[in-house]
Amino acid sequence: MIKDTIVDGFNNAPHRSLYHALGLTVEEQARPLIGIVSSYNEIVPGHMNLDKITEAVKLGVAMAGGTPIVFPAIAVCDGIAMGHTGMKYSLVTRDLIADSTESMTLAHGFDGLVMIPNCDKNVPGLLMAAARLNIPTVFVSGGPMLAGHLNGRKRSLSSMFEAVGAYSAGKMTDEELTEFEEKVCPTCGSCSGMYTANSMNCLTEVLGMGLRGNGTIPAVYSARIELAKHAGMQVMELVKKNIRPRDIMTAAAIKNAVTADMALGCSTNSMLHLPAIANECDVEFDLDWVNEISEHTPNLCHLAPAGPTYMEDLNEAGGVYAVLKELADEGLIDTSVMTVTGKTMGENIANAYNADPETIRPIDNPFTKTGGIAVLRGNLAPDGCVVKRAAVAPEMLVHEGPARVFESEEECIAAIYGGKINAGDVVVIRYEGPAGGPGMREMLSPTSAIAGIGLDKSVALITDGRFSGATRGASIGHVSPEAANGGMIAYVQEGDIISINIPEYRIELKVSDEEIAERKKNTALKIKTNLSGYLKRYSQMVSSADKGAIINKK
């Protein structure tokens, strides 16, 4: 306990004097000190309500006999950062968040933590910190946004990005575009589809680190405030029982997360974040697990952008626990794993049920018999690349076409809006990987432009960068090795034929070995030399995408 090393004894009188400077009473100093890691800020829509969540957590901790102390964590809004230099600063914050949380926690000796994240890199960054610190910890997120409503249909941020493509193609008027931008994001919260933020908040439940409803209760529901109070109370139980994150986030729990990912149809970014979380838990994440698990895990949900349902619908259908119950009844989930409730996953989901078989398909009537994500390998990506196959049109599951090669996202977007991409093309965007970007930018703008102009069922896109969870179509990211590290994607030339076969997990550049060897002799890699600050350090230390884009420990 903190009082043993910082509070008790004459030698700790200076520490106590500083607690008094904080206004902490002698009684508060004698209780367990609980760090409340609040990601509240006023620029991220998913975080603007976290002040309310933070106050509710503090109340819960105090009600249960602890002393809550708030400190901050940063967060980037991927939507606002999208399509410009700002996106280089999205993925890289995951490690800043983990490092700064570690620093604050160990510097001040907290007995337990409640993590309050919500958006894309903020959730995995704090999960990484929880595993690294390994003191009793509970997560409670800010919750998802409600869907927008236009012309009798639910809409979301992915609809907005696709509307830009439709507008550029002359398919939408100025007035219609303005109506979209005013209505698609109607409340605070993480964007309303199964994008990265919501994927990771749902998987936090599956990992056992969040209470029921953490991933799905909408941000504007009062039930979210109640959940926050319960999270504050529950961390005190974990402190008493000394239940720690690595007791919970075991190899079995991480495999459960991959399984649930397949059923939920989560963002491909989970294939960066789960390996990074596993790394902090000292669990070796094998990317081949993805296809092995996918082969026997049906896809039960088609939330936006894959389909017409949203997080509010998943919540009403029974949430993550209802999905886990469907999987557990078929023996696909290890129900023996411990969770922050102090009970096993099996005990948690015993009474869960599927209240809406359209939002959560029953296990015997899935959308597809295989999972929502696939890892492809071949000479173009010997270490793997990732696609959200649940959001790929059936006619694009197998595709072959000529490469259209771009050295950056900006070049590609200009070509798309300039009408230079044709049906059948395979767009290649390179030098956007973790080290080469640096920062592995999301490619929602080009994928949405392709969808918006009506080419998502005839054009594929391949990159060593990554995609937003809002992306749909044959969008294949995380190509490893990346171009900056001499990966094959660096040697693709305009017009080369690329073959994609998602059901068989294959991706091939149809160029002879002799020709490839010749290109490697005569092609200079385009390494950025004008970097400075954090991006320079990050580019020098980051691993490849297949390893989770982690900071190399060596």
Strand-strand pairing, 381-387 and 153-155: unpaired
Rounded Cα distance, 437 and 278, in Å: 24
Q: Is 403 helix (H, G, I), strand (E, B) or coil?
A: strand
- Contact, 317 vs 353, CB < 8 A? no
Q: Token pair for residue 20?
A: 């008094």
What stretch of H or E contains 375? strand 374-378
Q: Token pair for residue 316?
A: 């009403």
- Contact, 201 vs 214, CB < 8 A? yes
Q: Is 6 helix (H, G, I), strand (E, B) or coil?
A: helix
**What phi-psi label fits residue 422: left (phi over 0), alpha (psi between -120 and 50 degrees) or beta?**
beta
User: Over 84-130, what HEC string results?
Assistant: CHHHHHCCCHHHHHHHHHHHHHHHHCCCEEEEECCCCCHHHHHHHHH
DSSP-derived secondary structure letter, 201: H
Rounded Cα distance, 76 and 297, in Å: 33
- Contact, 488 vs 517, CB < 8 A? no
Q: Token pair for residue 347?
A: 């005990």
**What phi-psi label fits residue 101: left (phi over 0), alpha (psi between -120 and 50 degrees) or beta?**
alpha
- Contact, 199 vs 270, CB < 8 A? yes
Measured CA distances, 406 to 352, 416, 464, 479, 483 (Å): 48, 11, 12, 15, 12
Q: Is 406 helix (H, G, I), strand (E, B) or coil?
A: strand
Cα–Cα nearest to 82, from 358, 361, 467 = 467
Residue 303's contacts (CB-CB under 8 Å, 6 or more residues apart) are 193, 194, 264, 265, 309, 310, 311, 313, 314, 359
Cα–Cα nearest to 380, from 395, 400, 409 = 400
Q: Is 142 helix (H, G, I), strand (E, B) or coil?
A: coil
Largest CA-CA distance found in the chain, in angstroms, rounded: 77
The catalytic site residues sit at: 468
Cα–Cα nearest to 168, from 336, 417, 375 = 417
The sign of the torsion formed by the CA atoms of 142, 146, 148, 153 equals positive
**512-547 b/e (C-beta count within 10 Å ≥ 16 → b):** eeeeeeeeeeeeeeeeeeeeeebbeebbeebbbbbb
Measured CA distances, 352 to 20, 135, 447, 531 (Å): 47, 29, 37, 51
